[in-house]
């Protein structure tokens, strides 16, 4: 009887040893299940990072949260076991983390599956964007339990580098002469630059206004080159492109800012000069006196007569006081057009009724057509 027990014990020991040996070779069912779950998590994080990178490419910035991203498939948003969503953390402008609860340490998993790696671009993709292949020589690693995988989008390709959209202004250059009322071309290049603000600044780098809103000045998809035609007569008050104000001839610079990302460029100083024999203002002239309540003449000429806005400004031409005429059509005599103004009331808004009283003092005015082309007066005086 003891012999039978002894034989059974030997057989049991052999079976247990075989099972242990088998587990050491192929892994336990529990470990295989854990490995499968972790591999699914890795595939899911790969897919998430792919969509996040696509978002960064299109928007030149990382998403603030995962809900900002349009995912190609919702199946990889949640953990395969707990069904809970993965965690996304934006670390900086170019870095982020994706977090999950892993069942094994990655050192164990790479020993049993040599393909346990995260998304790596092909050598052709790396060569296209001139990214060193040794960037991807090591796989990502993680610890058992909750852990985060770190990503840096500047490592994937240079198109994700938010500093890569460097703008270079090709026009205007030093001593470029932009004539008011003409079609003056502002041109620039910028890799991966889309919409931009175009700003006019003076010689002291003080902002005068916006030449174009980003909805107008968009990058042309032709070798990353774009241009914008500017009359050199007016600028917008803000980058919405709503209200414009006139500018005076003088020396200026142009600043172009990418509205997505951080790229900016400033041109050399250039000249804005009045266009001769296109738009002239004869009255009021310098030191002209207008008497309130009398018929005072504003006289101008323009080769092509169209609707005219006439605005009243302070003597320094920095602040608009109101509007004398808005979008009115005038007829010309001997290429001259005039408006009789009693110098007593103006409109507070463009196109409004003349209800705001004008006090005696020193002023200037601007006569502009609806394209923003026109001319400003010298300082004149309104007297009682």
Domain boundaries, the chain: 25-160, 167-273, 279-383
In this predicted structure, what is the pLDDT of residue 255?
A: 93
In this predicted structure, what is the pLDDT of residue 306?
A: 66
In this predicted structure, what is the pLDDT of residue 24?
A: 52
In this predicted structure, what is the pLDDT of residue 252?
A: 96
- Phi first, then psi: what are they for 58, rounded to 5°? -75, -35
- Phi first, then psi: what are they for 128, rounded to 5°? -60, -40
Report cis status (omega within 30 of 0) of the bond before 172.
yes
* 167-273 and 279-383: identical CATH topology: yes
CB-CB contact of 60 with 162 (8 Å): yes
In this predicted structure, what is the pLDDT of residue 121?
A: 47
167-273: CATH number: 2.60.40.10
Per-residue pLDDT of the chain (384 residues; tens, 9 = 90+): 555 454 545 555 544 555 455 555 445 677 788 888 888 888 888 888 888 888 887 777 788 998 888 887 778 889 999 999 999 999 887 789 999 999 988 776 554 444 444 444 455 544 544 444 544 444 567 888 999 988 877 655 444 444 445 788 989 998 899 988 777 888 888 755 567 889 999 989 999 999 887 655 444 444 457 777 788 988 988 887 778 888 999 999 999 887 665 678 999 999 998 865 567 888 998 889 999 999 999 988 876 666 788 899 988 777 889 999 877 766 666 667 888 999 999 998 877 788 899 999 999 998 887 766 778 888 999 999
Tell which residue, 68, 153, 95, has the closest CA to residue 119: 153
In this predicted structure, what is the pLDDT of residue 193?
A: 58
How many CA atoms are closer than 13 Å to the CA of 74, on its beta-carbon side? Answer: 3
279-383: CATH number: 2.60.40.10
């Amino acid at each position: 009887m003891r012999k039978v027990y002894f034989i059974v014990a030997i057989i049991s020991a052999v079976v247990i040893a075989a099972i242990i040996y088998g587990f050491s070779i192929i892994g336990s069912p529990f470990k295989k299940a854990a490995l499968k779950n972790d591999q699914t998590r890795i595939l899911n994080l790969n897919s998430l990072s792919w969509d996040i990178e696509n978002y960064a490419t299109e928007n030149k910035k990382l998403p603030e949260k995962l809900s900002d991203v349009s995912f190609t498939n919702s199946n990889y948003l949640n953990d395969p076991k707990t069904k809970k969503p993965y965690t996304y953390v934006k670390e900086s402008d170019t870095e982020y983390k994706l977090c999950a609860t892993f069942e094994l340490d990655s050192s164990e998993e790479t020993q049993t599956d040599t393909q346990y790696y995260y998304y790596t671009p092909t050598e052709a993709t790396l060569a296209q964007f001139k990214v060193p292949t040794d960037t991807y020589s090591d796989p990502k690693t993680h610890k058992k339990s909750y852990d985060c995988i770190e990503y840096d989008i500047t490592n994937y390709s240079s198109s994700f580098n938010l500093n890569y959209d460097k703008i270079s202004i090709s026009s205007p250059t030093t001593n470029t002469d932009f004539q008011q009322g003409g079609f003056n071309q502002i041109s620039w290049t910028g890799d991966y630059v889309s919409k931009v603000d175009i700003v006019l600044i003076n010689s002291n780098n003080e902002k005068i206004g916006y030449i174009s809103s980003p909805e107008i000045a968009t990058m042309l998809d032709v070798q990353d080159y774009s241009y914008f035609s500017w009359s050199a007569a007016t600028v917008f008050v803000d980058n919405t492109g709503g209200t414009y104000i006139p500018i005076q001839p003088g020396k200026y610079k142009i600043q172009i800012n990418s509205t997505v990302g951080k790229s900016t460029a400033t041109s050399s100083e250039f000249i804005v000069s009045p266009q001769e024999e296109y738009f002239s203002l004869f009255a009021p002239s310098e030191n002209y006196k207008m008497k309130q309540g009398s018929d005072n003449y504003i006289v101008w000429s323009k080769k092509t007569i169209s609707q005219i806005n006439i605005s009243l400004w302070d003597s320094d031409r920095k602040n608009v006081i109101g509007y004398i005429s808005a979008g009115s059509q005038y007829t010309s005599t001997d290429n001259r057009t005039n408006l009789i103004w009693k110098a007593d009331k103006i409109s507070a808004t463009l196109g409004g009724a003349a209800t705001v009283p004008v006090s005696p003092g020193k002023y200037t005015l601007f006569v502009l057509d609806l394209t923003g082309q026109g001319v400003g007066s010298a300082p004149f005086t309104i007297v009682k």
